Amino acid sequence: MSNDKIVILTGAGISAESGLGTFRDEDGLWAQHRIEDVATPEGFHRDPDLVHAFYNARRAQSAEAKPNAAHDALAKLERDHPGEVLIVTQNVDGLHEIAGSTNVLHMHGALNGALCASCDSRWPAPLVMHKTDACPQCGRATTRPDIVWFGEMPYYMDEIWGHLASADSFVAIGTSGEVYPAAAFVQEADRGGAHTIELNLAPSSRVSDFAETCFGPATQIVPQWVAQELSR
Ligand code: APR
Q: What is the CATH number of the domain that holds 47?
A: 3.30.1600.10
What does the DSSP 8-state code read for residue 29? H
In this prediction, residue 232 carries a pLDDT of 86
Pair (78, 14) in one structural domain: yes
Pair (101, 115) in one structural domain: no
Residues in the chain where the model's pLDDT stays below 70? 1-3
Taking the centre of ligand 1 as the mean of its atom positions, its distance from the CA of residue 210, in whole angstroms, is 17
Burial status of residue 182 (CB atoms within 10 A of its CB: 0-12, 13-18, 19 or more) = buried
Positive or negative CA dihedral for 17, 22, 26, 31? positive
ipTM of the complex: 0.99
Pair (42, 134) in one structural domain: yes
Pair (41, 125) in one structural domain: yes
pLDDT digits (tens, 9 = 90+) for 148-163: 999 999 999 999 999 9
The domain in which residue 101 lies consists of: 1-19+67-108+154-232
In this prediction, residue 205 carries a pLDDT of 96
Strands laid side by side in the 122-124 sheet? 122-124, 109-116, 143-147
Instruction: Name the maximum alpha-carbon separation found in the chain.
Output: 54
Q: What is the reported pTM?
A: 0.97
Taking the centre of ligand 1 as the mean of its atom positions, its distance from the CA of residue 87, in whole angstroms, is 16
Minimum-distance ligand 1 atom for the alpha carbon of 91: 34
For residue 178, give the nearest of 159, 201, 205, 140 by alpha carbon: 205
pLDDT digits (tens, 9 = 90+) for 46-92: 999 999 999 999 999 999 999 999 999 999 999 999 999 999 999 99
